[in-house]
Amino acid sequence: MNPRNFLAELKRRNVYKVAVAYVVVAWLLIQAASILFPTFEAPAWVMKVVVTLMAAGFPIALVIAWAFEMTPEGMKRTENVSPDEFIPQWSKRKFAALIAAIAAIAAGLLLFQVLRTKPVPGVATANAPQKSIAVLPFNNLSRDPDNEYFAEGVQDEILTRLSKIADLKVISRTSTQHYKSAPENLPDIARQLGVAHILEGSVQKSGDAVRVNVQLIKAANDSHLWADTFDRKLTDIFSVESEVAKAIADQLRAKLTGREEQVIADKPTDNPAAYDAYLRGLAYNLKTATTPGNSLGAQKYLREAVRLDPKFALSWALLSEVDARGYLTASLQPTIALREEGRQAAETALTLQPNLGEAILAKGYYYYACLKDYDTAMLYFEKARQLLPNSSQIPQSLAGVARRRGEWDRSESYFNEAERLDPRNVVLLTDRVVYYVALRRFPEALRKLDQVLDITPDDLDTLVEKAAIAQAEGDLPSASAILAQLHPGAADTNAWEIQIYQAILERHPAAVIPRLKEVLVKPDPALGYANGELRFFLGWAQEIAGDHAAAQESWRQARSELEPLLKEQPENCFLLGDLALTNACLGDKAAALTLAERAVAVNPIEKDAEYGPMGIEFLARVMARIGEPDRAITALQKLLSIPYIAPLVENVPLTPALLRLDPMFDPLRNDPRFQKLCVGPEQIGPNK
């Protein structure tokens, strides 16, 4: 067919107009879906299906427009239609009018989207569920500033009771604790948290007398819905928290089951001193990073709480969780005794209160973190979800299980669910940073870190992570600028290691060596293998500085500190890897190889996709050091193709930039295979 005739035929058969109309209508439908689906909490895949169907339908619509014509008698194939049967072509004016009408609808949808995503005062919480609430920190009006913990305790108990009501959306304390007690911008805060109501309060304690003031506020127009004052004795404080929770549920017209009514009335402990210790331990547990200092602080106070009240089930549950997380991340010495304490604490909590959601969650976390029994852990997490409907920790834990199984996309879906429940929880946001870092999705990790810094400005652990990412990207000047702001304490081993690693990457470590020696003069025994790891870093820095004798002495001391720990920590991959590297640096190739292979075997990648590869990194470093380039390069090729949590510095996995900078890989520099690994981001694994 002549091209001109073909184009004329397209026009005659209205194919052009069908194409234009299809594109515009499809766009309108997609815009409408993007508004309606979130409202009804449709899964993300539903939107993907709609877009796919729209795209697939376009060529089908064009084929139908070519093959069929509308006649007064209905649709007929074109070759069976005589010219006088065609319905007259639309006039340009009518077609223009149709397009104008569609454009007007599109403009209306676009305007709605803008208004929806950029709310103005008065409508900030229009999309929030009406049965939703955030409990802001209570103001401590007591003369003694040490009573701040008591005010936090009253707030936390009210919030905990509310969060167990399935008919309510309740934002966790971890998202609200960084706000002021009585802020001026309530509509903005409600929008940030996704709630329609705010509870404010104050606590005044004098001797054994307590006064609690509370007020429930509708955030959209800053109007007071309910307020009350309670004057009670200290021993009766829990009844106040129960009454407030019940009154709020009534005001928001939340339906309570019989079990929920009982939960609201429960007292976690009759011992005020035990409760105070619990709150202090909780404060450590809520810090942004799972560091040795934070884990030890939480563990110390929670042990004190259950000593003071052995029937304090909630504290037993949190102690088990702290132990299990410390065992998993090695922020506590991952000994057999620690694992056993975590098990006993979870079982004690369940024995005391079989239907306590926190106790069921703790038992699941024990199976996940200590036993790597992910199927059993999932069963406990799903059971706990029924009792803790507003807990972000459950989807966060499910995200952790998914990562261990290598289900990275599924893990992200769980993180999205957790953040909807708890949008300003710095622990949750930091855990998501670790997820992005493992995948080498550094821009997204940095955006999350900025979110954390917006909530907790100048947080040490957050700045350390930003510096580590800059190093991984090969941007040493930016890393140096960040690290110059830091003033870590003796227990901040992560911060010390990142500063030393920076000096090593710059190949000018002389300045940090005296400071590190000062830290190691009186090492904290509770830090265990972390002290030996710092000693290894000292030897590494001394070697780069040219003082080989001092380096050998530091490594000998590191080995003497690390080796005795193996008996109680036979599965500690960090400890095994540190010892393997130390022996490699001391020239003991046989011991180094044995320990490196053991580090790979204790936590194989097939069982743990997230942490398993760290043994392979230890192996790669040892092989490079002892002159086994083939095995070193094979291991590095594997590492650059997969996501994982790194063993040495702030979770960040190896990148081409780090391979170019890290002196430990100097023995491989002249190998063409290694040079290929150092080329650009194309060598990085799942970076999507």
Which has the higher per-residue pLDDT, 177 or 548?
Answer: 548
pLDDT surpassing 50 at residue 618: yes
HSE-CB for 574 with a 13 A CA cutoff:
28
pLDDT digits 0-9 by tens, 467-489: 999 999 999 999 999 999 888 87
Asked if residue 260 and residue 280 are part of one domain, the reply reads no
pLDDT digits 0-9 by tens, 560-617: 999 999 988 898 999 999 999 999 999 999 999 999 999 999 999 998 999 999 999 9
Q: What is the mean pLDDT of residues 259-272?
A: 83
pLDDT digits 0-9 by tens, 413-435: 999 999 988 888 888 999 999 99
Q: Judge whether 434 lies within some domain.
A: no
Asked if residue 282 and residue 257 are part of one domain, the reply reads no
Nearest to 36 by CA among 113, 108, 94: 113
Cβ atoms within 10 Å, residue 406: 16
Asked if residue 372 and residue 230 are part of one domain, the reply reads no
Mean pLDDT of all residues in the chain? 83
Task: Quote the crossing angle between the two packed helices 493-506 and 529-544, to the nearest 10°.
Answer: 20
Q: Judge whether 50 lies within some domain.
A: yes
Asked if residue 202 and residue 86 are part of one domain, the reply reads no
pLDDT digits 0-9 by tens, 627-640: 999 999 999 999 99
Asked if residue 201 and residue 110 are part of one domain, the reply reads no
Per-residue pLDDT at 79: 53
pLDDT digits 0-9 by tens, 7-29: 666 566 566 666 666 766 776 67
pLDDT digits 0-9 by tens, 665-680: 999 999 999 999 998 6
pLDDT digits 0-9 by tens, 25-58: 776 677 666 655 544 445 555 666 666 776 777 7
Q: How many residues does the chain have?
A: 688
- The enclosing domain of 151 has a CATH number of 3.40.50.10610
Asked if residue 90 and residue 143 are part of one domain, the reply reads no
Rounded-to-10 torsion of CA 684, 325, 133, 186: -60
Q: Judge whether 412 lies within some domain.
A: no
Lookup result for tokens 């994982």:
644
Asked if residue 101 and residue 174 are part of one domain, the reply reads no
Q: Which domain holds residue 210?
A: 132-265
Overall pTM > 0.85? no
Asked if residue 347 and residue 252 are part of one domain, the reply reads no
Q: What is the mean pLDDT of residues 328-337?
A: 88
Q: What is the mean pLDDT of residues 185-194?
A: 84
- Token digits of residue 498: 């990142």
Per-residue pLDDT at 265: 79
Q: Judge whether 463 lies within some domain.
A: no
Number of domains making up the chain: 4
Cβ atoms within 10 Å, residue 658: 21
- Token digits of residue 202: 């104050």
Q: What is the mean pLDDT of residues 231-243?
A: 78
Asked if residue 358 and residue 210 are part of one domain, the reply reads no
Q: Judge whether 405 lies within some domain.
A: no
Interacting residues of 328 by C-beta distance below 8 A, sequence separation 6+? 334, 368, 369, 370
Which has the higher per-residue pLDDT, 442 or 244?
Answer: 442
pLDDT digits 0-9 by tens, 92-123: 455 455 555 555 565 555 555 444 434 333 33
Asked if residue 502 and residue 585 are part of one domain, the reply reads yes
- Token digits of residue 380: 């406990």
Q: Judge whether 472 lies within some domain.
A: no
Q: Judge whether 460 lies within some domain.
A: no
- The enclosing domain of 675 has a CATH number of 1.25.40
pLDDT surpassing 90 at residue 657: yes
C-alpha 340/C-alpha 322 separation (Å) is 13
Query: Is there a contact between 409 and 160 (Cβ–Cβ < 8 Å)?
Result: no
Domain boundary (88, 117, 146) is at 117
Domain boundary (391, 411, 444) is at 391
pLDDT digits 0-9 by tens, 158-175: 888 888 888 888 887 777
DSSP secondary structure code for residue 654 in this structure: P
Distances (CA, A) of 66 to 6, 7, 13, 83, 424: 11, 12, 6, 15, 55
C-alpha 339/C-alpha 458 separation (Å) is 34
Per-residue pLDDT at 33: 65
Which has the higher per-residue pLDDT, 400 or 36?
Answer: 400
Asked if residue 582 and residue 485 are part of one domain, the reply reads yes
Host H or E run for residue 68: strand 68-71
Q: What is the mean pLDDT of residues 319-343?
A: 92
Per-residue pLDDT at 448: 95
Asked if residue 287 and residue 246 are part of one domain, the reply reads no
Q: What is the mean pLDDT of residues 190-217?
A: 85
Distances (CA, A) of 503 to 263, 437, 516, 531: 54, 22, 12, 19
Nearest to 647 by CA among 634, 660, 664, 631: 664
- The enclosing domain of 291 has a CATH number of 1.25.40.10
Q: Judge whether 238 lies within some domain.
A: yes
Domain boundary (337, 368, 391) is at 391
Lookup result for tokens 């025994």:
525
